[in-house]
């Protein structure tokens, strides 16, 4: 029996107050190596485990590609893992909810000139909200996922970045509610990806060498334009490409073809490279400028979620991430205006992306919450 565990020297990963064998745990299983190892760890510690896989879209219609999740092959892999570790496996069909709350929202976001993050919407809706409710109906004591993020219960459950910062998924989980965090457990928090795969190999799991998810699950080969063209064909409307003063420099075939910070594909000759600064949906214009025009200092947020119960945590200097692969940026937060003032200008900050709050303390780098970027200013 291997012993990779949530907290060092801890054998009770759930903290239900009951013995492990009398503690029921639901594990969200995507069919990938991370959730499979998470389920294996929980099972190895003697819990009563149920694996749940969500069917989120009709992969036959969309077209299955390598590096996606929650499609046909992934459901099969999740079942094979459950059979291997001898736990119950169920498949829940959430296609309609996923379509309405993730795919349709994704298309609408691009039409508004935003750059959406459907993975956060998916976590916020079907993966946490609806799966949370289902786990409660099963009288489960906890819901486990394979995310690389820490949960430390001091005073109340708090979220932290994991040990392996290269696998940090806290950015995608900022919208987790405090109630959900009380119920969630993350057994991979102290593991590196290499260690996770080693465990999968020791367990002879079918997914041990399976590639990680790369693309958005419902966007084959990363070509989001085909999805939008199918769902919102009217959005490919021709318009002007202008500079920041409104001078027409060229023309475009739909603002959905552009994102903030984009350089390639503008197709306008200029003495210095041009970048997309803004997408003006009211005028159907793509606004371009030079690299320094991309710098923003102010970020205005909507739909904030807080994972701290003490708002004073946000009073002093904090840090934010404005893209999943971005670095932590020093800033100040104005909770009256829901405004972030960056200490130093940042390029390519786009409406529709998440802005996630962080702060260091004695336990690590804590996630305080975050919000969606509504607009930016230089």
Query: Catalytic pick from 69, 70, 82, 217?
Result: 217
Instruction: Single out the residue of 328, 79, 63, 40 nearest to residue 215, CA to CA.
Output: 63
- Spell out the residues 6+ positions from residue 292 whose beta carbon is closer than 8 angstroms to its own: none
> Would you call 122 a catalytic residue per the annotation?
yes
Kindly list the distances between the CA atom of residue 287 and the CA atoms of 216, 236, 243, 301, 326, in Å, as whole numbers in the listed order: 27, 17, 5, 22, 24
Query: Catalytic pick from 82, 119, 122, 355?
Result: 122
Q: How far apart are CA 98 and CA 56, in angstroms?
A: 6
> Would you call 82 a catalytic residue per the annotation?
no
Query: Do residues 36 and 75 lie in contact, with contact meaning Cβ atoms separated by under 8 Å?
Result: no
Query: Do residues 30 and 56 lie in contact, with contact meaning Cβ atoms separated by under 8 Å?
Result: no
Q: What is the 3-state secondary structure (H, E, C) of 186-208?
A: CCCCCCCHHHHHHHHHHCCCCCC
Nearest-10 Cα torsion for 222, 90, 40, 172: 40
Residues taking part in catalysis: 122, 217
């Amino acid at each position: 029996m291997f012993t990779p565990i949530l907290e060092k020297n801890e054998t009770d990963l759930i903290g239900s107050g009951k013995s492990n064998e009398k503690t029921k745990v639901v594990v969200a299983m995507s069919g990938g190596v991370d959730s499979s190892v998470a389920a294996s760890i929980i099972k190895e510690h003697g819990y009563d485990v149920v694996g749940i896989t969500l069917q989120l879209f009709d992969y036959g219609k969309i077209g299955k590609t390598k590096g996606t999740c929650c499609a046909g092959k992934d459901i099969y892999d999740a079942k094979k893992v459950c059979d291997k570790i001898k736990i119950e496996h169920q498949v829940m069909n959430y296609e309609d909810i996923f379509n309405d709350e993730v795919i349709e929202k994704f298309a609408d976001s691009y039409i508004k000139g935003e750059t959406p993050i459907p993975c956060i919407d998916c976590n916020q809706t079907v993966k946490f909200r609806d799966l949370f409710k289902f786990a409660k109906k099963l009288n489960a004591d906890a819901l486990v996922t394979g995310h690389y993020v820490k949960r430390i219960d001091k005073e109340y459950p708090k979220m932290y970045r994991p040990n392996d910062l290269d696998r940090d998924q806290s950015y995608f989980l900022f919208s987790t509610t405090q109630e959900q965090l009380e119920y969630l457990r993350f057994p991979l928090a102290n593991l590196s990806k290499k260690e996770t795969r080693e465990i999968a190999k020791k367990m002879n799991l079918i997914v041990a060498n399976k590639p990680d998810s790369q693309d958005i699950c419902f966007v084959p080969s990363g070509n989001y334009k085909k999805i939008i063209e199918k769902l919102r064909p009217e959005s490919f409307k021709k318009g002007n490409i202008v500079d920041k003063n409104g001078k027409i420099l060229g023309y475009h075939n739909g603002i959905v073809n552009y994102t903030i910070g984009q350089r390639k594909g503008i197709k306008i000759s200029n003495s210095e490279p041009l970048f997309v600064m803004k997408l003006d949906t009211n005028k159907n214009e793509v606004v371009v400028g030079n690299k320094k025009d991309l710098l923003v200092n102010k970020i205005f947020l909507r739909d904030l979620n807080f994972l701290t119960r003490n708002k004073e945590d946000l009073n002093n200097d904090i840090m934010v991430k404005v893209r999943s692969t971005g670095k932590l940026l020093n800033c100040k937060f104005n909770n009256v205006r829901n405004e972030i003032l960056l200490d130093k200008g940042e390029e390519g900050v786009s409406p529709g992306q998440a802005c996630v709050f962080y702060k260091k303390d004695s336990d690590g780098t804590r996630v305080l919450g975050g919000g969606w970027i509504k607009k930016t200013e230089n």
